[in-house]
Structure 1
Amino acid sequence: MNVAVFDIGGTFVKHALINQDGEIIEKGKLPTPKVEAQTNLLAEIQQMVSQYQLRGTIAAIGISSCGIIKNGQVLLSANIPGYTGFTIEKQLSERLSLPVYVENDVRCAGLGEMWKGSAVGKENFVLLTLGTGIGGAVVIDGKLIKGNNGFAGELGHMIIEQEGRLCGCGAAGCYEQYASTSALLRDYQKESLDGKAISGEEYMLRLSQNDPIAITCYQRFIDYIVSGLVTIAHFINPESIIIGGGIIENGDRLINDIRKTFENKVMTIYQSTTSIEAAVLKNDASIMGAAFLAFKSENMIE
């Protein structure tokens, strides 16, 4: 039996057909609608589900979505105009006459890593994704921690610098203002001689070429990342903290340096109880997690 899954982001809607063994039978992506998002997303997803049904029976639909998600509804999204307020689970299930399960994209990535990635066999772990901001998912005893109103896991908004940089959330000194990939690139741009913006790939190239400014920014970046990891380890004591995001995929240097610095800064007793791992599912993490959510909710997998 298969499920159809969709990962709704600000630029693309990734889609896939996945079986109970976690094998991706087919996948692709479509541009995210820029106007009348709710209506057009419903149409896009319905059309793709119809195509996947030609391959066989679809047991359920799994949705990974940007934004704050609660009870199948998009409570807030800054990335897609007109997306906030979308009762996506209800409307899709009515249209498709299929069970639909919706969760935040980073939480889905955490579930994906638990099912088929770096967290296989682990019941207590934290996933951090480094990108424009920092996303977080916390899994305790094999279950996502959602909190009182479903807002738990916003680790990018831990305050690490009093009276620090202003964050888009309205606070100052948030973790993601110092330890996200975009923060690293902003720091480099500010300190570089030409003041030009560069990509993460270009930055890592300059780092490998021993650009002194890149090295200075990198060392500070590592320290900021680890300050958050130490707080997480001391507070939650997970088996693993798994780090994802495009910058992690540029070889082993970053994850190895994070590990070394973490071991130097964390309390000694935690060195052997919390490991630092790189996420392995990369761009498929969220769709795998959406599939896991659907299969698990339908009692089709353990």
Structure 2
Amino acid sequence: MMKKSTISSVQGAPMYICIDIGGTAIKHGLASASGTLLQQGSTPTHAHEGGGPGIIRTVRRLIRQYIETKQENDQIAGIALSTAGMVDPVKGSIFYALPASIPDYTGTEWKKMLEAEFHLPCAVENDVNCAALGELWRGAGRGCSSAFMMTIGTSIGGCAVYDGHIIHGSGCSAGEIAYMRVPGGRLHELASATRLVHDVAAAKGVEPKTLNGYKVFALAAAGDTDARQAIATLSGHIADAIGNVITVMQPEVVILGGGIMAQESVFRPLIEQNVSRQLPPAMYEHTRIAFATLGNDAGMIGALCHLLQTQ
């Protein structure tokens, strides 16, 4: 499904096709060079039905659709791709994707393939990295030059940005905070939405499948002590990770994204209180904690930012 924005494009001005490949949906859009989405839509990924080859077919079809339906004087200047999986941003390829998430996706040569077919410059980056760039450019981190973004969902993602550019590390896996050690174990074992639901289910003696994040926060709002304790515990683990990031990088802003982070009014006081207990004021007072504002558009906007940086 595709919808047009009420914002019109300037005829002849460059526009960019933006694609964000997730495990559940492929979001797509047409954007101006300033990061304004002029058209956008979403289609199911069908990751397990078609695997990597199926995703390739879908993305190629979407790109052709944008090219074929553009106005006569419109100029499409590039393809910006955000994707799940571990990405080599120079080659524009997927060097590893968890088979359980997207089968047969490892080794996909996006940049080489799309540039050969459509004769447009293409840039490819990991989806969490793109979300970080998007928030820094047009969202919660606007005006900052350094940031660390954490996405908290079924697992944990992270990205460090310094001087407006992603820190990739020597193996393109910098920022993978799911593997960070905090008191109690690895972060992805302790601080995900999945763990939150499991903790509440265990406390109540019910099956985790009978709960979800929405129900947990509804219980907490109604005064349920099990839900409130699980949220407080989760907040403590997230604060441990933020404290570690500040000691290493001290970015201007730490941005928290992902589904459950929409509960800013619940999490902010808990996380800020825990971070302030860990570090001396001279350290933590120079880093503000922000909550993501771009929602599902962050990946596409960040992918465009990455493409413009490469050009």
Alignment TM-score, normalising by the size of structure 2: 0.88
Match of 1:60 among 67, 78, 94: 78
Paired residue for 2:174? Answer: 152
Deviation at 1:67, TM superposition (A): 0.7
In the alignment, which residue of structure 2 is the partner of 1:105? 127
Residue 251 of structure 2 corresponds to which residue in structure 1? 238
RMSD: 1.5
| CA distance in structure 1 between the aligned counterparts of 2:94 and 2:207, rounded to whole angstroms | 38
Q: Which residue of 1 aligns with 2:62?
A: 48
Name the aligned partner's letter for residue 127 of structure 2.
D
Give the 5 Å matches for 1:113-152.
113-152=135-174
Q: Distance in 2 between matches of 1:256 and 1:19?
A: 37
CA distance in 1, matches of 2:119, 2:215: 47
**Quick check: 1:184 aligned with 2:202?**
no
* Contact 1:35/1:81 (<8 A) preserved: no
The answer to whether the 8 Å contact 1:35/1:82 transfers is no
1:30-49 paired onto structure 2 within 5 Å: 30-33=43-46, 34-49=48-63
Structure 1 letter corresponding to 2:195: A
**Larger deviation: 76-85 or 245-254?**
245-254
**Aligned equivalents of 1:97, 1:196: Cα separation in 2:** 49
**What is the count of residue pairs matched by the alignment?**
288
Alpha-carbon distance in 2 for matches of 1:221, 1:31: 31
Conservation of the 8 A alpha-carbon contact between 1:248 and 1:255: no
What is the identity percentage for the equivalent residue pairs of Structure 1 and Structure 2?
Answer: 29
Task: Provide the C-alpha distance between the structure 2 equivalents of 1:193 and 1:44, rounded to a whole number of angstroms.
Answer: 43
Moved over 4 A (4+): none
Alignment of 1:81-96 (within 5 A): 81-96=103-118
TM-score (norm 1): 0.91
Q: Map residues 207-218 of structure 1 onto 2, 5 A cutoff.
A: 207-218=220-231
State the shift of 1:251 in Å.
4.5
Aligned residue among 291, 295, 298 for 2:304:
291
1:146-198 CA-partner distances (Å, limit 9, x unpaired): 0112111101211124xx5xxxxxxxx21111111111111111111334431
- TM-aligned CA deviation for residue 37 of structure 1: 3.4
Take 1:231 and 1:251, find their aligned partners in 2: how far apart are those partners?
21
User: C-alpha distance in 2, partners of 1:132/1:116?
Assistant: 25
Give the distance between the partners of 1:12 and 1:64, measured in 2 at CA. 12
1:252 is paired with a residue whose SS is helix
> 1:146·1:152 contact (CA, 8 Å) conserved in 2?
yes
